[in-house]
Structure 1
Amino acid sequence: MKAIRRFTVRTVLPEPLRDLEELILNLRWSWHHETLDLFRAVDPALWEAVRHDPVRLLGEVSPERIGQLAADRRFLRRLRDAGDELHDYLTTDRWYQSLGGAPRAIAYFSPEYGITATLPQYSGGLGILAGDHLKTASDLGVPIIGVGLLYRHGYFTQSLSPDGWQLERYPPIDPNGLPLTLLREADGTPVRISIGLPQGHDLHAQVWLVRVGRVPQLLLDSDVEDNDQAARDITDRLYGGGGDHRLLQEMLLGIGGVRAIRAYCRITGHPAPEVFHTNEGHAGFLGLERIRELVSERGLAFGEALEATRAGTVFTTHTPVPAGIDRFPRELVRTYFGGVNEEPDVPVERILELGAEDYPGGDLTVFNMAVMGMRLAQRVNGVSLLHGEVSREMFGGLWGGFDTAEVPIGSVTNGVHAGTWVAREVLELAAREAPAVLGSEDGWDQVRQVDEEDIWAVRRTLRARLVEEARRRLRDSWRQRGASEAEVAWIDDALDPDVLTIGFARRVPSYKRLTLMMRDPDRLRALLLDPERPVQILIAGKAHPADEGGKRLIQDIVRFADGEDVRHRIVFLPDYDMSLGQSLVQGCDVWMNNPLRPLEACGTSGMKAALNGGLNLSVRDGWWDEWFDGQNGWAIPSADGLSAPDRRDDLEAAALYELIADHVATLFYDRDGGRAPRRWLEMVKHTIAGTGPKVLATRMLREYVERYYVPAADAGRAMAADDHAGARDLAAWKQRVAKAWPGVAVEHVESVGEDRMNVGARLPLRVVVALAGLDPADVAVEVAYGRVDDADALADPSYLELGGPEPLEDGRLRYVGDVPLERSGSFGYSVRVVPRHEGLATRAEMGLVALPPAPQGMADGVLR
């Protein structure tokens, strides 16, 4: 008989062991090896059986063993030391506490978080990045509050049918079996958050509190008795359901998340966030709730509240693919935010304006969550330099009139949390042979002095561990597919700890090209079975349950890997999760990545491999485009100029085969008469020393703090001062400028002596403008100048603000200045008028610019 309900009964620990529960309820254990050692000591065999889940460990350990531990003085001493060490970690000042003027708290919103495999609330890179963000914030002392949803079924677990088709299962998750607790009021009652729904209903949620080191994480859960069944199912699974379901999830995340933060700060006394960081558009509705608060509680008008909200908001976009952005029918948004559910303080028409694609090429029938997120944030960034460029192209319509390079979308290249992803053996080798690496981001050159034999021994250990883990998972998968014991006997000898090992693991959308390696099956087979330089490839990845094309790609590669001639050299490992990801990035010699350039926003798995001594073999996309230096791996040539997809895939696959055969494998097996491949290991040391400090999440988070959080906090404070006088002033100024702007014009441009200009001279310039009643202090008149291309377009121009103004008749004004001629060759300039206000983060913020009616003053000659 099957149980109709499943729940977890927690162990009641005797007093001497109470500190064990505190250690378990703080997820710092997930990246702290000494605490993991303590858990292992509770019952080593059981620890392996529960797959390193400490909550399950305590749930299944025998009462007899608990009694033994409570009387074991050595264990109790270790427990006390671990508790003291955690307390020091949580209370000692860290990097952030040395900063002056930094925000008191930052709210970080994400729809998913990958913190540990025992808390399955993630699907891919977005969640893993969010988890690393919180852990790094804890390590650096950054006062972040994480906000997300608790999915009762998480993301799906993946298995394969006998013919290799992806199967999904959504096992139920009991929160009482996870390392989290309910957020409760002072009287012990659970906190309840509510948001309004159409027909006068409310959606209720409770709030689970997760401790990620020093960082509190709040997860909202709609599975409460106050809701009907449909409402209880809103947080059933990550990225599940149709449009209504997804919209409700994002309303709960954004609106409910702000209300959960308010409750948490009220109960605990935690400082209220001064900065709100929206990790992708899913949480964009948080801005609407903050506007509502300011209108209803502070008496601001909508536009004034919008300015106050924008100033303290950071928005990070993670996708260069339009299909990766949530877009809802406008009428669906009107249904949920209008009618009886309409907030008088937040009119539905104003909401629809925020998400409107009202720019050339936009779809006026949809509500774009990323567009709303950008309009609600004064600071926007992509997640690599290349992704920043792509995002400026992709969203440039929001700032029409400005060149793509001036679109105010910056970039902070992602990083990875070393404590989570770097193997213990690597950390111990660094502590022993290159301790400067562990203490700062400046001592990485010490890696170059480490003995190659020591590095090779660690790499062999990690590769062998990966082989054992792969065999275990492969055996389980074949049994799930219906194979008998006799049919899985070959797995005992599958893979080889001494063979060049390539890893390829990721989500399986078409642009990541899971099967590019199979473009020529015979060439792939030859690489795998080379008698002198064999290669083995470990593959993992999940397709979205609704992505039939992605599932076919998985089936194609599984069928190839099932072949009796190659199955010992290429394997597909189902149910890609954090645990498998850690094994792969630690054990693989090479991390392969071949997306369609430039559709990989960043891609962090290759960073993790690099920190473990792996080399990258990748198309120059995302982070690899930025930090490939010719000595830290190999760049797969990209044919991204070709319009024929098949031809492009053929060329890039051929280049991939050639690189593996003639460069990667050749170097790996070049032993020079010894056991260790010296030249390979020189590349490994160069990679760790040169690339290592760049890919750390500590570098990433410091950039966020210094370039985004601190300026956002400063801007938010300026808007809030004196009862939000700054916000009121900026909103009124923007309204006045926007109303007058159609009449602003550049009427005349005049320069003298263009035919006699030499390098080092200055070109006098006079510009006449009409300001349509605006004050000269409201604008800046600028000249853009520099090299021009064959189409007379300015390439990477410099800018100079012109002086004046001198009043002329009819209210016009003359501005003057001298343009420096700093280079020879083709030269040109143009002029423009842009709004100017101290409350603007950039000149392009309003998307307003006045240009001359036709190109004027272009210098056609060549400067000498």
Structure 2
Amino acid sequence: MKAIRRFTVRTVLPEPLRQLEELVLNLRWSWHHETLDLFRAVDPALWEAVHHDPVRLLGEVAPERLAQLAEDRRFLRRLQDTAEDLHEYLTAPRWYQSLSGAPSSIAYFSPEYGITAALPQYSGGLGILAGDHLKTASDLGVPIIAVGLLYRHGYFSQSLSPDGWQLERYPPIDPNGLPLTLLREADGTPVRVAIGLPPGGAGRGDGADDHGGARGPAEHGAGARELHAQVWLARVGRVPQLLLDSDVEDNDPAARDVTDRLYGGGGDHRLLQEMLLGIGGVRAIRAYCRITGHPAPEVFHTNEGHAGFLGVERIRELVSEQALTFDEALEATRAGTVFTTHTPVPAGIDRFPRELVARYFGGANEDPHVPAERVLALGAEDYPGGDRTVFNMAVMGMRLAQRVNGVSELHGEVSREMFGGLWGGFDTAEVPIGSITNGVHAGTWVAREVLDLAAREIPALMASGRGWEEVRDVPESEIWRIRGLLRERLVLDARRRLRESWRQRGASEAEMSWIDDALDPNVLTIGFARRVPSYKRLTLMMSDPDRLRRILLDPDRPVQIVIAGKAHPADEGGKRLIQEIVRFSDGEDVRHRIVFLPDYDMALGRLMVQGCDVWMNNPLRPLEACGTSGMKAALNGGLNLSIRDGWWDEWYDGQNGWAIPSADGLSSPDRRDELEAGALYELIEDHVSVTFYDRDSAGLPRRWLEMVKHTIATLGPKVLASRMLRDYVLDLYTPAAASEREMVADKYAGARALAGWKQRVAKAWPGVAVEHVETDGGESPQVGALLTVKAVVALGGLDPDDVAVEVAYGRVDDADALIDPSYLDLGGAEPAGDGRLRCTGEVPLGRSGAFGYGVRVVPSHPMLSTRAEMGLVALPPAPPGMTNGDLR
């Protein structure tokens, strides 16, 4: 008989070992090697058998062994020391505690988190980045409260069919078998949060998996039902992580399935997940702060659009509890909200039919504090080129946040292009979307051997994060020795995974004998591991199979490639790409040189970024937002071989790896792939492999190791998540907290004033105009002269302080468009009659050549984050043959 429910029975530890449970329940162990050493000492063989999962370890260790450990004074001393170290880590002041003006608390919302393979609540880069964000916050003492969902089946486990087709399994996850505890009230009752669901409805909207059922937005109205969720608490070092779980008795079967799997189901199902994450997540935070006394968040950080409804819930709170209007609550909410976009691909953004969102937020379930039409307006693509039929989660996230950023400089540029319609009156360069380039958590991704070498050779680096240039003085023989150890570790684990995969595919032991010699610990090893959407071009390396075969089998400079990746279960095209790679790598002539390892997860990713000599990345530029796996490889002494996209476009310097030339602009995708594949082959044949195999009399590849040292010395301080999080704290969180405080002071006087001012300006703006512009600078101005610009503007009933009259000036192109213009406020304002204003200013002529200028009027208020915030601008009438766009 098959069990109808799986659950975990936890071990009762002997009293002397009770601190083991405290260590297990704080996920700091996932990046703290001394704690992992302690767990290994409990039972070394079992530790390997449970794949380094301490919860499983304590659940399966023999009672006799626990009794022995309870009497082992040496082990008990180690246990005490480790527990005391954790306590000091959790309580001692850190970097953040030295700051002034920083927020008392930050709420961080993400649909997925990659903390450890033992907590499978992630699918790819977004989750891994979120996990690194939390770990780094813990290390720096940043008071973040994280919010997510607990998926009972995670993402999926991947295997291969005999013919190489991706197969998915969704193994059940028992929260009691994870390092989690239920959030409980003071009386021990589990905390429940609920969101309202309208009566009736048609279910998940994903075809064959339709279950009927759950609906709902903010507060439940008359006749409405509710979606309930319990809250699991994970401790990520100093950071509490709240995970909402709808699998509770209060829900009907359809509602229980809302948190069944990550990115599963169709429109209804996904919308319910995102409503629970955003609306329910805010309510979970309120409960957590009430129970624990944790300071309420001043700043809310939305990690991608999936959690955007948190802003709707915060507006509802302010309207219902503080008697603000919707617009006033919107301003208060925006001030303290940060939104990070992670995709340069429109298809990667969640967009729902407007009718679907209206059904969930309107009708019998409509909350009077958040009218459905106002909610719909937040996600409307009501700009030129937008789709009026959809509700865009990223657009809503940006409208609900005063500060928006991409995750690399190039991604910031792409995002300004993608979302510029929200600020339609302004040039792309002025769209208020900045960038903070991602980073990676060294404790998670850097091999212990590398950390130990750094501790021995550069102690200041480990103690204070300074001294990166001293990497150049580390003995090359030591670096090469460690690189060999890490490469061998990858090879041995790859053989184990290959054997398991071929066994699952139905191979006999006799058919797997070749695996004993698959890969070679002494051969140049290239890694490629990522999700498998088409733009990441998994199969670009196979554009010319014969040439790839020659590269792999070169008798003097052989190359081996280790590949891993998952396609979304609904992505048939991605699955075909995997099958193509698998079929090639199954070939008897090359299977010892190129392998595909299924079930890519954090554990495999760590082995690959540590063990590969070269990290390869060949997306369609500029569709890779950041691509942090190459950062992890660099910290481990690997070199990058990549298209200049994401972070690599920003930090490639010609000495830290190789840049694959990108054939941007070609209209033929096949021709572009052909050219870029040819460049990839040439780089591997004539540069990468030549440098790797060029050895001196001591057997060392001197030039290669010079590049490795240069890579670590120059990229090390840039690619760390500690640099990234400091940027978030100083550039986004702290200014957001200041804006939030300005809004809420004196019973939200700031929010009320700004909302009223914006309404008045927006109403009057059609009457604002630049009526006349003239200059006085002579017929032939020279460099160093000043050009006097005079403008008369109509204020449309506004006060002079409500606007700024600006002159934009600088170089112009052949079409007279300004190139990277500078801006100057025209002062000397004086009334010109009939509600008009005359302004005068002097423009410096700092360079020779083609020069131009334009004049505009923009709203001006001290509480605006930028002058582009409202998307309003008034320009002079366009001369014949030109448009106002030419004048900007």
TM bucket (normalised to shorter chain) is over 0.9
Query: 2:376 — aligned with what?
Result: 352
Structure 1 outlier segments of 4+, above 4 Å: none
Q: Which residue of 2 aligns with 1:300?
A: 324
Residue 64 of structure 2 is matched in structure 1 by: 64
DSSP-derived class of the 1:727 partner = helix
Determine helix, strand or coil for the equivalent of 1:680. helix
Alignment of 1:218-229 (within 5 A): 218-229=242-253
Asked if 1:20 corresponds to 2:20, the answer is yes
How far apart, in 2, do the equivalents of 1:441 and 1:370 lie? Answer: 36
User: Alpha-carbon deviation of 1:277?
Assistant: 0.1
Over residues 265-306 of structure 1, what are the superposed CA-to-partner deviations in whole Å (9 max), with x where a residue is unaligned? 000000000000000000000000000000000000000000
Q: One-letter code of the match for 2:363?
A: G
Deviation at 1:241, TM superposition (A): 0.4
CA distance, structure 1, for counterparts of residue 691 and residue 398 of structure 2 = 47
- 1:137 alignment partner, SS class: helix
**Residue 792 in structure 1 maps to residue 816 in structure 2:** yes
Residue 437 of structure 1: how far off its partner (Å): 2.0
The answer as to 2:546 corresponding to 1:522 is yes
Per the alignment, residue 237 of structure 2 pairs with 213
Q: Does 1:196 align with 2:193?
A: no
Partner Cα distance (1:138, 1:522) in 2: 50
**2:479 aligned with 1:455:** yes
- Secondary structure of 1:539's aligned partner: strand
Q: Structure 1: how far apart are the matches of 2:464 and 2:394?
A: 36
Tell me the residue number matched to 2:134.
Answer: 134
The correspondence for 1:696, drawn from 712, 716, 720, is 720
- Aligned 1:714-725 pairs, distance under 5 A: 714-725=738-749
Within the alignment, does 1:424 sit opposite 2:435 as a pair? no
> Is the CA contact (8 Å cut-off) linking 1:436 and 1:444 kept in structure 2?
no
Deviations 1:437-460 (A, max 9, x none): 223343100100001000000000
Shift of 1:5: 1.7
Task: Output the amino acid matched with 2:135.
Answer: K
Q: Which residue of 1 is the match for residue 405 of structure 2?
A: 381
CA distance in 2, matches of 1:58, 1:169: 26
2:102 aligned residue? 102
Is the partner of 2:261 in helix, strand or coil?
coil
Q: Could you say what secondary structure the match of 1:643 adopts?
A: coil
Deviations 1:572-619 (A, max 9, x none): 000000000000000000000000000000000000000000000000
SS in 2 for 1:344: coil
CA distance in 1, matches of 2:803, 2:190: 53
The alpha-carbon deviation at position 855 of structure 1 amounts to 4.9
Structure 1, unpaired ranges of 5+: 859-864
Q: CA contact under 8 A between 1:288 and 1:346: conserved in structure 2?
A: yes
Matched, 1:802 2:821: no
Is 1:728 matched up with 2:745? no
The reply to whether residue 362 of structure 1 matches residue 401 of structure 2 is: no
Which deviates the most, 122-131 or 3-12? Answer: 3-12
Show the counterpart of 2:215: none
Q: In 2, distance between residues paired with 1:204 and 1:434?
A: 52
Match of 2:182 in 1: 182
Return the letter of the residue paired with 2:811.
R
* Paired position in structure 1 for 2:651: 627
Q: Does 1:325 align with 2:349?
A: yes
**SS state of the match for residue 251, structure 1?**
helix
Contact 1:590 1:617 in 2 (8 A): yes
Which residue of structure 2 aligns with residue 150 of structure 1?
A: 150
- 3-state SS of paired residue (2:380): coil
Match of 1:862 in 2: none
Correspondence for 1:249 among 256, 269, 273: 273
1:823-854 alpha-carbon deviations (Å, 9 max, x no partner): 11110000100000011000000000001112
User: Does the CA-based 8 Å contact 1:766-1:814 persist in structure 2?
Assistant: yes
- Tell me the equivalent position of 1:815: 839
Task: Tell me, yes or no, if structure 1 residue 746 matches structure 2 residue 806.
Answer: no
Equivalent position of 1:565 in the other structure: 589
Matches within 5 A, 1:578-589: 578-589=602-613
Match of 2:615 in 1: 591
The answer to whether the 8 A contact 1:436-1:446 is kept is no
TM-score (norm 1): 0.99
Query: Contact 2:147 / 2:281 at 8 angstroms: preserved in 1?
Result: yes
The residue type equivalent to 2:729 in the other structure is V
Task: Give the whole-Å Cα distance in 2 for the aligned partners of 1:34 and 1:283.
Answer: 36
Deviations 1:718-748 (A, max 9, x none): 0000000000000000000000000000000
Maintained 8 Å contact 2:615/2:641: yes
- Secondary structure, aligned partner of 1:456: helix
Residue 411 of structure 2 corresponds to residue 411 of structure 1: no
Q: Does 1:601 align with 2:628?
A: no
Match 1:781 to one of 760, 785, 805: 805
1:669 to 680, 688, 693: 693
CA shift for structure 1 position 753: 3.1
Is 1:232 the counterpart of 2:253 in the alignment?
no
Could you tell me how far apart the structure 2 residues matched to 1:20 and 1:783 are? 66
Instruction: Give the partner amino acid of 1:809.
Output: G
2:577 corresponds in structure 1 to 553
- What is the aligned counterpart of 1:499 among 523, 542, 553? 523
Q: Deviations over 1:533-571 (max 9, x none)?
A: 000000000000000000000000000000000000000
> How far did residue 4 of structure 1 move?
2.1
- Asked whether the 8 Å contact 2:777–2:786 carries over to 1, the reply is no
Query: Is structure 2 residue 611 aligned with structure 1 residue 611?
Result: no
Partner residue of 2:303 out of 252, 260, 279: 279
Q: Which amino acid in structure 1 is aligned with residue 325 of structure 2? A: A
- Residue 641 of structure 1 is matched in structure 2 by 665
Structure 1 range deviating more: 467-476 or 749-758: 749-758
The amino acid of 1:91's aligned partner reads T
Measure the CA separation in 1 of the matches of 2:329 and 2:176: 40
- The aligned length equals 858
Report Cα offsets for 1:439-485 as digits up to 9, x if no partner: 33431001000010000000000000000010000000000000001
RMSD: 0.9
Kept in 2, the 8 Å contact 1:830–1:855? The answer is no
Kindly provide the amino acid, as one letter, of the partner of residue 166 in structure 1: Q
One-letter code of the match for 2:141? G
Alignment-mate amino acid for residue 822 of structure 1 = G
d(CA) in 2 for partners of 1:852 and 1:628? 43
Does the 8 Å CA contact 2:743/2:750 hold for their aligned counterparts? yes
Contact 1:38 1:79 survives alignment (8 Å): yes
Residue in 2 that maps onto 1:392: 416
**Residues in 2 aligned to 1:814 and 1:756: alpha-carbon distance in whole angstroms:** 25
Cα distance in 1 between the residues matched to 2:854 and 2:563: 53
**1:481 aligned partner, one-letter code:** R
Deviation at 1:754, TM superposition (A): 4.4
- Contact preservation (8 Å) 2:152, 2:259: yes
Amino acid at match of 1:356: A
Shift of 1:6: 1.1
Mapped to 2, the partners of 1:432 and 1:734 lie a distance apart of 59
Task: Name the structure 1 match of 2:220.
Answer: none
| One-letter amino acid of the structure 2 residue matched with residue 280 of structure 1 | E
Larger deviation, residues 492-501 vs 800-809: 800-809
1:337-378 deviation digits (Å, cap 9, x = unpaired): 001110000000000000000000000000000000000000
* Separation of aligned partners in 1, 2:286 and 2:665: 50
Give the match for residue 598 of structure 2. 574
CA distance in 2, matches of 1:843, 1:772: 18
Q: Give the distance between the partners of 2:815 and 2:590, measured in 1 at CA.
A: 55
User: Match of 2:874, SS?
Assistant: coil
Contact 1:693 1:699 in 2 (8 A): yes
Question: Residue 434 of structure 1: CA displacement?
Answer: 1.6
1:260-271 matched pairs, under 5 angstroms: 260-271=284-295
SS of the equivalent of 1:756 reads: coil
Q: How far did residue 226 of structure 1 move?
A: 0.0
Q: In structure 2, what is the equivalent of residue 826 of structure 1?
A: 850
User: Within 5 Å, which residues of 2 pair with 1:836-847?
Assistant: 836-847=860-871
Q: What is the TM-score normalised by the length of structure 2?
A: 0.96
